[in-house]
Amino acid sequence: MKKLDKKVLIVTGASKGLGISMAEICASEGALVVLAARSRDELEAVASRIRSLGSEAEAVVTDMSKPQDLENLVIRTLSRFGRIDGLINNAGVNYVKPFLEITPAEWQRVLDVDLTGSFLLTQLCARQMRRQGTGGSIVQIASVHTHASLVGAAPYDAAKHGMVGFSKAAAVELAPFGIRVNILSPGLCETEIWKEIVDAAPSEKECIDYWNANIPGHRLIKPEEIARCCVFLLSDDSSCITGANIFADLGMTSLLVSREPYASKVIGGE
C-alpha cells in the first residue's frame, strides 16, 4: 500500500518550486491533492500533470492573505473529496530588505501571508479533522531561519519563528484528537529562490563557492527531498512525532562558522 493511500491533502504554494514537488510526490504516494496558489494557469498545469499520471487533483486559486480565500479552499476541498486528512502549509513570501528601511506595510504583508494565513488555514483544517474524528497531520514549512538569521530577513524571520510558536501550541492542544502538527525547516533548495540568489551574485561560481562553504553537504537540496520528508510526516510512519521542528538542511544549522578558504593544518591536543 502507498504511504498516503486515499488521504485528502491540501498543499499551499503548489504552483512553484517546493510546492510542485510536494504535490506530485504526495500524489504518487496515493494522496488526493488539492492545490492552492494565486496563479490559476500554473496551478492548472500542475493539476493536469498529476491527473495525467492517474492521480486525482483539484486546483483552487487562493491568496493566503485573504481569510475568505482560505475558507473557500476548505469548502472546495470538502465539496470535492468530503474530508481533510492532511495539510502542507508551504506558501510564503520571501523578503529581503535592510532592517531600518522596512515599512509597516512591508512588514505586515509578509506576516499576513507567511504567519497569519498559515495560522488561519491550520485552524480551519484542524477543526474539520476534529469533526471527522479520525485524526490528521499538518506540516508547516518554515526555514533554517528559525535557528539563525541573515541580513535583511527581519519580517521573514519573525513570521517563521511565529509559525513554530503557534504550531507547537497547536500540537499540544490537538494531540488528544489524534491531530499531529510538525514543522519542517529546509535549508537552501534548488528552487526559484536559488536562481534569484545566483542572479544577485557577481558570478555563479562565486555564489556556489560561498554557499558550499556554509553547507556541510556541499550541495543544494532538491525539492523532491523536502517532499519526501513531508510524505514521512504526513504518513503513519511518523505517528509518534508531533510538535517537532525538523531541520532538513544538509547540516547548515550545525555549522558554527563557514569553512576556511584554505587548508588548515592539524591542531594537536598536546
Q: For 148-172, what is each residue's pLDDT tens digit? A: 998 999 999 999 999 999 999 999 9
Question: What is the residue-averaged pLDDT of the chain?
Answer: 95
Beta strands in the chain (DSSP E): 8-12, 32-37, 57-61, 86-89, 136-141, 179-186, 245-248
- Other Cβ atoms closer than 10 A to 125: 23
Catalytic residue of the set 95, 156, 210, 262: 156
pLDDT digits (tens, 9 = 90+) for 68-99: 999 999 999 999 999 999 999 999 988 889 99
Say which CATH architecture domain 8-186+224-243 belongs to. 3-Layer(aba) Sandwich (3.40)
Domain ranges of the chain: 8-186+224-243, 188-220
| Beta-strand pair 32-37/8-12 | parallel
Residue 41 has pLDDT above 90, yes or no: yes
**pLDDT beyond 70 at 233:** yes
Arithmetic mean of pLDDT, 187-213: 87
**pLDDT at residue 235, as a whole number:** 98
Nearest alpha-carbon partner for 14 in 75, 78, 92: 92
Predicted TM-score (pTM) of the model is: 0.95
| Catalytic residue flag (residue 262) | no
Residue 198 pLDDT: 85
Confidence of residue 269 (pLDDT cuts 50, 70, 90): low
Confidence of residue 232 (pLDDT cuts 50, 70, 90): very high
How far apart CA 100 and CA 48 sit, in angstroms, is: 44
The residues, ordered by sequence, that sit 6+ positions from 253 with a Cβ below 8 Å of its Cβ are 144, 147, 148, 187, 247
The confidence band for 9, taking pLDDT boundaries of 50, 70 and 90, is very high
Quick one: pLDDT at residue 258?
87
Q: What's the pLDDT tens digit per position in 111-131?
A: 999 999 999 999 999 999 999
